[in-house]
């Protein structure tokens, strides 16, 4: 039974969350706030790191889209130099998880960051929202009401961590029309509530029930989506067909929060060859497509980041050719995570699987007679 | 007349144990298939997943990673990391419906010349049964 | 008077015949052109060695999945080609490659260059929705009427440089008989030599100058409209922020731009990375700061780096996940930068890029 604090709403859910944030800020729980804010032109959102509380006016703790993956924002702020102020970051569960992974990979420093997550119904595809944000906002209201539905991104439809207990404090919006719940997940979270005089000892059965109900539905979606992938995308021929439209722009890699290398291996000298190499390959096959090594890039990227893949969907949002990269990468990511018994984004002290080992393991992979 | 399929195997062979094993095989004139192309690496842990993927996608019929047995790694624990990386890449290939049986990880001790010859020969036989790697001819890879 | 090869076939079939002839008779050792890949209408460039693969080619397909200059640079970055290659690319791709050659990112050696009077390409989104094939008929109807097809890339609509510079052969792909008759203007002796023995008519002739000139005038007026619709002069800081606010910092524009050749872009490097103390300082000054920051700096910075060589291919706009009209901005302001020096990127291989050279006395109006 999850325990937390029940905070009655005085208006919309968004207002209730922002009121809580404002109070915590006024009472000095943190120095600056990282939160999505609508941009002046009204057709998208951006993360702002704010020190001036009045800038919270156009903020949205749960925007209809994820434009920049929140973990990239956390990394940008905390990766270089000592973080000397306390930052509260409010974002979607997948962004929180990515932030935890980046902390493990030494690309973010979460010591002075309070991570606040919100129950997430999913996000709309970027390419659907931006051209017509008015309709997009209406769609998202429906998404909140139905908790999901057809208009969210494909990976959101199968996400099981929409209400996960991660980060330091979780704000639950499901389960009760009239209140939001505050669920502390760590000492930092508990301390914040304690300093505000908020007791987090109430049982939240309504929330628990709602979460498991939605999880069941999502699990069904997941099964269906895996079956579809297996029949439409897997195998060499179908994989090549899926990636036949890939133009090699590498937007997916750039949007991915886990892909942190300033200069990607696949853009480096290592993957650049003499002209004769390309000519020889063309000779062997009869012809060679350009740009070449498309599948090598995607499989290689999988081998580098899939153990930390959260299925956040930013890659698919950024793809100009609408290739289902997020669906494929999160599918393979999960298979690898199952193999290693590793759950990315859960425990920031847990090491990523490739930097540790056991003396006896993976015997099915080695041939040692 | 159809040409007999001779599988091309790329082997990432660590310099300490596995290469030594290869040397022993060589000096004892044991049979190692000539279509085996060894690439020397200092340690099996040098083998980044992308090296295996590059060999596989370029069309190698089989990719072998050979390193020292656990506890015998010249750098103490390189081969443990290698095993994890290998498991990762093999699982990716498997999850995508490609052919994971074309990848093999073998531990070979420096003195095991016969084992070296056996591993390569058996792997070549196994890969021959799989037929040529379809990736080799694909223009759109 | 130039020589013109005349084939009694439609232009696409005609140019394929030429490419096949060149490869089969070993006048070249390879062909580089657009090829159909996959079953769902995807098209990519390919380096072709087997003449029978030319049957799968679609040299004039109105799509540019990648600016060919990037691929040509990949092929010739380290060393010039050691064997001859016939390429069929669009005029702007050729210009971009000439710029890259000036920047030491490739070599034109051993290339037999074929290009066409370019009718423009569709935005890549059309390929996403599998609509390109459906639009093909409309496309060719427009080209037969010597008109600009609707729905092509905005920068294509306003492109007056649709006649290739520096090509050995120019295929006339705009004109009333292009479905029946394929004319290839042979611009160089090299082109004539390469077609020695082809069983088709080669006679004196020229491009239909009047048709091209009238089309050019229409393109120029389209361009003026395109530029005046996007009032960059009135932007100011607010306007810039309005337009670029939705940028997600994917830098796809830089990735696909043929002129952006830096392996590690300045804007991705450590030098440009803010760090917490930088955030703190900006927050103190402004009350808050966008994360990641320096979006406008990136766009204006990239413009200052590549504007001088921008050929207006339009790849940047196509790749942008949030549809910022980058190619219009870059072409408009690029043109203004180029105009300062009377410079047309990619036209003349021997003309240095203006930022790589100087005169002792010049630009007095910028000096104070």
Q: Does C37 touch chain B (CB under 8 A)?
A: yes
Q: What tokens does C348 get?
A: 């003349």
Note whether C203 and C7 are within 8 A (CB): no
Residue count of chain C: 368
What percent of chain A has pLDDT above 70? 99
Spatial distance between the Cα atoms of A42 and A352, rounded to a whole number of angstroms: 39
- Please answer yes or no on whether A291 and C74 come within 8 Å at the CB atom: yes
Contacts of A50 (CB under 8 A, 6+ apart): A32, A33, A34, A35, A37, A56, C283, C287, C288
CB-CB under 8 Å, C38 with B140: yes
Cβ <8 Å between B140 and A332: no
> Which pLDDT score, from 0 to 100, does residue A1 have?
83
C-alpha closest to that of B17 among B63, B69, B71 = B69
Between CA A190 and CA A169 the distance in angstroms is 8
Is C66 an interface residue toward B (CB < 8 Å)?
A: no
pLDDT at A369: 67
Work out the minimum CA distance from A27 to partner chain B, whole angstroms: 48
In angstroms, rounded to a whole number, what is the distance separating the alpha carbons of residues A76 and C276? 8
| pLDDT of B18 strictly over 90 | no
Q: Cα-flanking dihedrals φ and ψ of residue A174, to 5°?
A: -85, 160
Q: Give the minimum alpha-carbon distance from B81 to chain A in angstroms, rounded to a whole number.
A: 6
Angle A156-A158-A163 from CA coordinates, rounded to 5°: 70
How many CB atoms neighbour CB A201 within 10 A? Answer: 7
Neighbours of chain B (3+ CB pairs under 8 A): A, C
pLDDT per residue as tens digits for the range A160-207: 999 867 889 999 999 788 999 999 999 999 999 999 999 999 998 889
Q: CA of A264 to nearest chain B CA: how many angstroms apart?
A: 13
Both structure tokens of A160: 């099981």
pLDDT, tens digit (0-9, with 9 covering 90-100), for B90-130: 999 999 999 999 999 999 888 888 888 899 999 999 999 99
In a 13 Å sphere around the CA of C344, the CA atoms on its Cβ side amount to: 12
The two three-digit tokens of residue A242, written as one number? 């899926």
Cα-Cα end-to-end distance for chain C:
51
Provide the pLDDT for residue C47: 97
pLDDT at B32: 76
Q: Nearest to residue A23, comparing CAs of A45, A5, A48?
A: A5
Task: From A56, A76, A117, A26, select the one nearest C288 (Cα to Cα).
Answer: A56
Q: Which residue has the tokens 């302001």?
A: C333
Q: Which two tokens mark A58?
A: 């156009």
User: Is residue B2 very low, low, confident or very high in pLDDT (cuts 50, 70, 90)?
Assistant: low
Shortest Cα–Cα distance, B99 to chain A (Å):
9
Is the model's pLDDT at B1 over the cut of 60? Answer: no
Task: Report pLDDT for A327.
Answer: 97
Q: Kindly compute the dihedral angle of the four CA atoms of residues B112, B105, A105, B74, in this order, to the nearest 10 degrees.
A: 0
Among the listed residues B64, B74, B77, B76, the one whose alpha carbon sits nearest the alpha carbon of residue B115: B64
Q: Is C36 on the interface with B (CB under 8 A)?
A: no
Q: Find the farthest-apart pair of alpha carbons in chain B and give their distance in angstroms, rounded.
A: 52
Q: How buried is C356 (Cβ within 10 angstroms: 0-12 exposed, 13-18 middle, 19+ buried)?
A: exposed
Do the bridges between strand C2-7 and strand B103-107 make them parallel or antiparallel, or are there none, so unpaired?
unpaired
Report d(CA A79, CA A156) in Å as an integer.
28
Of C209, C215, C208, C113, residue with least CA distance to C159: C215
The reply to whether residue B92 touches residue A299, judged by beta carbons under 8 angstroms, is: yes
Cβ pair C88, C59 in contact under 8 A: yes
Q: Which residue shows structure tokens 């690496």?
A: B41
Break chain B into its structural domains and give their ranges.
Answer: 28-109+119-130
pLDDT averaged over every residue in chain A: 94
Give dist(CA C280, CA A51) in Å, integer.
9
Q: Whole-angstrom Cα distance, residue C288 to residue C283?
A: 5
What is the band of B140 on the pLDDT scale with cuts at 50, 70, 90? confident
Residues C13, C120: Cα–Cα separation, whole Å: 19
B89, B49 Cβ separation under 8 angstroms: yes
pLDDT tens figures, C90-135? 999 999 999 999 999 999 999 999 999 999 999 999 888 878 888 8
Q: Give the pLDDT of chain C (368 residues) as one tens digit per residue.
A: 789 999 999 999 999 999 999 999 999 999 999 999 877 778 999 999 999 999 999 999 999 999 999 999 999 999 999 999 999 999 999 999 999 999 999 999 999 999 999 999 999 998 888 788 888 999 999 999 999 999 999 999 999 999 999 999 999 999 999 999 999 999 999 999 999 999 999 999 888 888 899 999 999 999 999 999 999 989 988 899 999 999 999 999 999 999 999 999 999 999 899 899 999 999 999 999 999 999 999 999 999 999 999 999 999 999 999 999 999 999 999 999 999 999 999 999 999 999 888 888 888 888 87
C-beta of residue C44 within 8 angstroms of C-beta of residue C66: yes
Could you tell me what percent of chain A has a pLDDT over 90?
A: 89
> Which of C21, C68, C88 has its CA nearest to residue C313?
C68
- Which of C78, C284, C320 is the closest to A274 by Cβ? C78
Sites in chain A below the pLDDT cut of 50? none
A132 and A290 Cβ atoms separated by less than 8 Å: no
B133 Cα to chain A: minimum distance (Å): 10
| d(C-alpha B138, C-alpha A236), whole Å | 10
* Chain A CB within 8 Å of residue B91 CB: yes
- Cα distances (angstroms) measured from residue B77 to each of A358, A366, B52, B82: 10, 15, 20, 9
CA A209 – CA A201 distance, rounded (Å)? 18
Going from N- to C-terminal start, the domains of chain A cover 3-225, 236-362
Residue B139 contacts C, CB cutoff 8 Å: yes
End-to-end CA distance of chain A: 50
C-alpha distances in Å from residue A38, one per residue of A43, A62, A66, A260, C297: 8, 11, 11, 26, 20
Give the start-end residues of each E strand in C64-138.
85-88, 111-116
**pLDDT for res A166:** 82
* Strand partners of residue A172: A181
User: At residue A290, what are phi and psi to the nearest 5 degrees?
Assistant: -125, 135
Q: Which two tokens stand for residue A305?
A: 């980041």
Provide the phi-psi class of C231: left if phi over 0, else alpha when psi is between -120 and 50, else beta: beta
The alpha-carbon gap from B29 to the nearest alpha carbon of chain A, in Å, equals: 22
Which residues are within 8 A (CB) of C269 and not within 5 positions of it... i.e. 6 or more apart? A262
Asked if A77 and C279 count as a contact pair (C-beta separation under 8 A), the reply is: yes
Q: Which residue of A has its CA nearest to B101?
A: A365
Give the angle subtended at the CA of C68 by the CAs of C67 and C73, to the nearest 5°.
110
Do the beta carbons of residue C45 and residue C73 sit within 8 Å? no
CA angle, C123 as apex, C254 and C76 as ends, to 5°?
50
Q: Do residue B98 and residue A239 have CB atoms under 8 angstroms apart? A: yes
Q: Could you state, in order of their start, the residue ranges of all structural domains in chain C?
A: 2-227, 231-366
Residue C68's SS3 state is helix
Task: Say if the Cβ atoms of C288 and A39 lie within 8 Å.
Answer: no
Rounded to 10°, the helix A275-285/C68-76 angle is: 110
Q: How many CB pairs lie under 8 A apart between chains A and C?
A: 226
Residue in C with minimal Cα distance to A261: C268
Inter-chain contact B139–C37, Cβ cutoff 8 Å? yes
Tell if the CB–CB gap between C248 and A321 is shorter than 8 Å.
no
Distance, in Å, from the CA atom of B14 to the CA atom of B4, rounded to the nearest integer, reads 31
Residue from A266, A277, A281, A285 whose CB has the most chain B CBs within 10 Å, to mutate: A285
Interface test with B, best of A296, A305, A324, A364 (most B CBs within 10 A): A296
How far is residue C201 from each of residues C4, C195, C197, measured CA to CA in Å? 8, 11, 10
Do residue A288 and residue C242 have CB atoms under 8 angstroms apart? no
Reduce the DSSP state of residue C9 to 3 states and report it: coil
């Amino acid at each position: 039974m999850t325990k937390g604090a029940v905070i009655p709403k005085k208006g919309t859910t968004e207002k209730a969350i922002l009121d809580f944030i404002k109070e915590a800020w006024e009472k000095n729980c943190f120095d600056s706030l990282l939160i999505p804010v609508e941009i002046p032109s009204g057709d998208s959102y951006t993360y702002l790191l704010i020190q001036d509380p009045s800038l919270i006016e156009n903020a949205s703790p749960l925007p209809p889209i994820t434009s920049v993956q929140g973990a990239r924002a956390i990394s940008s702020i905390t990766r270089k130099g000592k973080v000397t102020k306390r930052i509260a970051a409010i974002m979607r569960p997948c962004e929180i998880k990515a932030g935890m992974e980046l902390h493990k990979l030494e690309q973010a420093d979460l010591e002075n960051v309070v991570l606040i997550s919100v129950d997430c119904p999913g996000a709309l595809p970027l390419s659907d929202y931006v051209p017509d944000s008015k309709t997009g906002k209406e769609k998202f209201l429906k998404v909140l009401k139905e908790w999901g539905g057809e208009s969210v991104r494909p990976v959101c439809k199968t996400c099981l961590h929409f209400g996960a207990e991660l980060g330091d404090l979780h704000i639950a919006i499901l389960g009760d029309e009239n209140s939001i719940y505050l669920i502390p997940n760590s000492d930092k979270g508990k301390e914040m509530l304690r300093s505000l005089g908020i007791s987090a000892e109430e049982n939240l059965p309504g929330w628990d029930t709602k979460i498991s109900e939605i999880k069941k539905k999502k699990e069904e979606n997941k099964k269906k989506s895996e079956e579809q992938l297996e029949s439409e995308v897997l195998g060499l021929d179908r994989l090549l067909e899926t990636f036949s439209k890939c133009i090699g722009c590498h937007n997916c890699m750039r949007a991915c929060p886990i892909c942190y290398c300033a200069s990607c291996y696949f853009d480096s000298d290592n993957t650049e060859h003499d002209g004769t190499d390309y000519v020889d390959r063309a000779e062997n096959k009869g012809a060679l497509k350009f740009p070449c090594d498309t599948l090598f890039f995607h499989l290689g990227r999988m081998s580098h980041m899939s153990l930390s893949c959260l299925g956040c969907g930013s890659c698919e949002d950024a793809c100009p050719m609408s290739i289902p990269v997020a669906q494929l990468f999160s599918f393979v990511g999960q298979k690898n995570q199952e193999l290693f018994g590793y759950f990315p984004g859960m425990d920031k002290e847990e090491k990523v699987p490739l930097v540790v080992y056991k003396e006896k393991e993976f015997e099915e992979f080695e041939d040692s007679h | 007349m159809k040409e007999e399929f001779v599988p091309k195997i790329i082997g990432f062979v660590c310099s300490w144990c596995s290469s030594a094993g290869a040397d022993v095989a060589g000096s004892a004139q044991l049979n190692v298939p000539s279509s085996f192309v060894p690439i020397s690496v200092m340690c099996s842990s040098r083998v980044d997943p992308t090296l295996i993927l590059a060999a596989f996608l370029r069309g190698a019929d089989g990719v072998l990673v050979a390193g020292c047995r656990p506890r015998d790694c010249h750098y103490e624990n390189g081969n443990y990391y290698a095993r994890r990386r290998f498991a990762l890449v093999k699982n990716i290939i498997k999850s995508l419906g490609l052919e994971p049986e074309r990848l093999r990880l073998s531990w070979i001790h420096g003195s095991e010349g016969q084992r070296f010859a056996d591993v390569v020969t058996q792997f070549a036989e196994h890969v021959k049964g799989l037929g040529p790697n379809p990736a080799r001819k694909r223009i759109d890879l | 008077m130039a020589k013109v090869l005349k084939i009694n076939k439609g232009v696409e079939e005609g140019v394929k015949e030429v490419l096949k002839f060149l490869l089969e008779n070993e006048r070249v050792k390879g062909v580089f052109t657009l090829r159909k890949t996959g079953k769902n209408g995807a098209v990519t460039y390919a380096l072709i060695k087997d003449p029978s693969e030319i049957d799968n080619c679609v040299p004039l397909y109105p799509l540019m999945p990648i600016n060919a200059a990037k691929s040509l640079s990949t092929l010739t970055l380290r060393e010039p080609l050691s064997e001859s290659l016939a390429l069929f690319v669009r005029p702007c791709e050729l210009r971009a490659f000439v710029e890259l050659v000036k920047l030491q990112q490739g070599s034109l050696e051993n290339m037999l260059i074929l290009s066409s009077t370019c009718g423009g390409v569709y935005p890549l989104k059309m390929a996403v929705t599998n609509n390109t094939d459906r639009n093909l008929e409309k496309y060719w109807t427009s080209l037969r009427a010597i008109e600009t097809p609707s729905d092509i890339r905005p920068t294509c609509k306003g492109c007056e440089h649709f006649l290739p510079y520096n090509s050995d052969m120019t295929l006339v792909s705009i004109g009333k008989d292009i479905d029946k008759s394929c004319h290839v203007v042979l611009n160089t002796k090299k082109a004539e030599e390469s077609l020695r023995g082809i069983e088709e008519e080669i006679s004196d002739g020229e491009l239909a100058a009047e048709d091209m000139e009238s089309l050019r005038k229409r393109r120029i007026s389209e361009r003026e409209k395109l530029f005046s619709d996007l009032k960059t002069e009135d932007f100011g800081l607010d306007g810039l922020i309005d337009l670029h606010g939705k940028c997600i910092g994917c830098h796809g524009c830089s990735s696909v731009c043929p002129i952006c050749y830096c392996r590690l872009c300045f804007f991705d490097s450590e030098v440009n990375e803010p760090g917490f103390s930088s955030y703190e300082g900006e927050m103190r000054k402004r009350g808050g700061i966008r994360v990641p920051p320096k979006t406008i700096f990136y766009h204006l910075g990239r413009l200052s780096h590549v504007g001088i060589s921008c050929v207006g291919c339009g790849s940047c706009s196509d790749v942008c996940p949030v549809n910022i009209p980058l190619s219009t901005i870059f072409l408009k302001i690029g043109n203004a930068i180029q105009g300062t020096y009377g410079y047309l990127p990619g036209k003349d291989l021997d003309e240095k890029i203006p930022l790589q050279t100087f005169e002792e006395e010049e630009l007095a109006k910028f000096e104070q």
